[in-house]
Structure 1
Amino acid sequence: MRIANTVSDSIVDGPGLRFTVFTQGCPHHCSGCHNPNTHDPAGGQEVEVAELAEKMTANPLTDGLTLSGGEPFDQAQACAALAELAKERGLNVWTYTGYTWEKLLEGGDPGVLALLAHTDVLVDGPFVEGLKSYDALFRGSTNQRLIDVPKSLAAGQVVLWQRPDLLAHFTRPES
Structure 2
Amino acid sequence: MHYAQMRKFDIANGIGIRTTLFVSGCTHRCPNCFNQDYQAFDYGKIWDQTAEDTFMSYVKDANVHGVTILGGEPMEQTQDEDLYNLFKRIKTETNQTIWVYSGYTFEAILKDEKKRRLLEWCDVLVDGPFIESLKDIKLKFRGSSNQTIIDVKASLVQGKKVLLDIE
Q: Distance in 1 between matches of 2:116 and 2:112?
A: 9
Question: 2:143: which partner in 1?
Answer: 140
SS, match of residue 6 in structure 1 = strand
CA distance in 2, matches of 1:27, 1:55: 30
Among candidates 69, 89, 97, match of residue 92 of structure 1: 97
TM-aligned CA deviation for residue 58 of structure 1: 5.1
Match of 1:61 in 2: 63
Displacement of 1:142 in angstroms is: 0.8
Unmatched runs of 5 consecutive residues or more in structure 2? none
Contact 1:53 1:86 in 2 (8 A): no
Secondary structure at 2:69 match in 1: strand
Output aligned runs, 1:15-26, within 5 Å: 15-26=15-26
Count, aligned residues: 162
Q: How far apart in 1 are the matches of 2:130 and 2:58?
A: 26
Q: Which amino acid aligns with 1:27?
A: T
**Contact 2:59–2:66 (8 Å) recurs in 1:** no
How big is the alpha-carbon RMSD for the aligned residues of Structure 1 and Structure 2?
1.6
Deviates more, 1:36-45 or 1:152-161: 36-45
- Decide whether the 8 Å contact of 1:95 with 1:121 is kept in 2: yes
What is the TM-score normalised by the length of structure 2? 0.90
- Look up the SS of the partner of 1:130 in the other structure: helix
Q: Deviations over 1:84-129 (max 9, x none)?
A: 22223110100000111111111222xx223111100000000001
Residue type at the aligned position of 1:63: H
Q: Is the 8 A contact 1:71 1:98 kept in 2?
A: yes
Larger radius of gyration: 1
